[in-house]
Amino acid sequence: MNYPHPLIAREGWFFIAIATVITILVNIYAGLLWALPLWVITIFVLQFFRDPPRAIPHQTNAVLAPADGRIVAVENVQDPYLNREAIKVSVFMNVFNVHSNRSPVDGEVHGQWYFPGKFINADLPKASLENERNALWLKTASGADVTCVQVAGLIAKRILCYVKPGEHLMRGQRFGFIRFGSRVDTYLPLDTKIKVSIGDKVYATLTVLAEFPQ
């Protein structure tokens, strides 16, 4: 799943094709006035599935943002997947953000957990534990444990993840996609230095979320 790959994510091709065909047919048989709202929807769907390439920072101890969006949580919590104290950094993605998910670190996938759940607003703290979610346990070469969790949102109806335990991910490598609004939680060791604050806008791969001790 590394680049190069389409600038419009494959996950959206079906939806874009359906929206485009319907809009063109309405435009032909009913006229532009009736088709105008559908053109707006088609453009929205097209922008939702954009998936631009990203340059990977050279800083080897950096933890990169796994998604585009806004920081909604930076807090010490209990990591429910690895049963440890950790720092959770949460990125909320609205419908105008890129929804491709990328690995925050270089590491081997040691575990994966999927939980069906609710579809409450992903901006709410309880979404981390109540919504549909898919968690990956990544272990870096230095032994650091990172849990990266895709969380469905209010209108997100499918979490896509393309890696399994035993595979290796590189920083910035594309590993999944969430359709139509969601969040990604990253659980980090307590000695990690956090570089973002609540309210910050972040960009997958480009933004450094945190730094591991040197």
- Looking at the predicted structure, is the pLDDT value of residue 59 above 70? yes
Helix-then-strand count for the chain, H and E:
3, 14
Q: What is the spatial distance between Cα 204 and Cα 199, in angstroms, rounded to a whole number? A: 16
CB 100 within 8 A of CB 177: yes
Q: What is the mean pLDDT of residues 154-182?
A: 84
- Looking at the predicted structure, is the pLDDT value of residue 161 above 80? yes
Q: What is the spatial distance between Cα 181 and Cα 147, in angstroms, rounded to a whole number? A: 20
CATH classification number, 62-211, choose in 3.30.70.580, 3.40.50.10860, 2.70.70.10, 3.20.20.70? 2.70.70.10
Give pLDDT, residue 171.
93
- Looking at the predicted structure, is the pLDDT value of residue 113 above 50? yes
For the chain, the domains span 10-48, 62-211
Beta strands in 28-106 (DSSP E): 62-64, 69-79, 84-93, 100-102
Q: What is the spatial distance between Cα 158 and Cα 120, in angstroms, rounded to a whole number? A: 14
Q: How confident is the model at residue 1 (pLDDT cuts 50, 70, 90)?
A: very low
Per-residue model confidence as pLDDT tens digits over 182-214: 889 999 999 999 999 999 999 999 999 999 997
More confident residue, 62 or 155: 62
When the pLDDT of each residue in the chain is averaged and rounded to a whole number, the result is 88
Per-residue model confidence as pLDDT tens digits over 7-49: 888 887 888 999 999 999 999 999 899 999 999 999 988 888 8
Residue 100 annotated in active site: no
Supply the pTM of this predicted model: 0.86
Q: Which of 100, 103, 128, 182 is catalytic?
A: 182
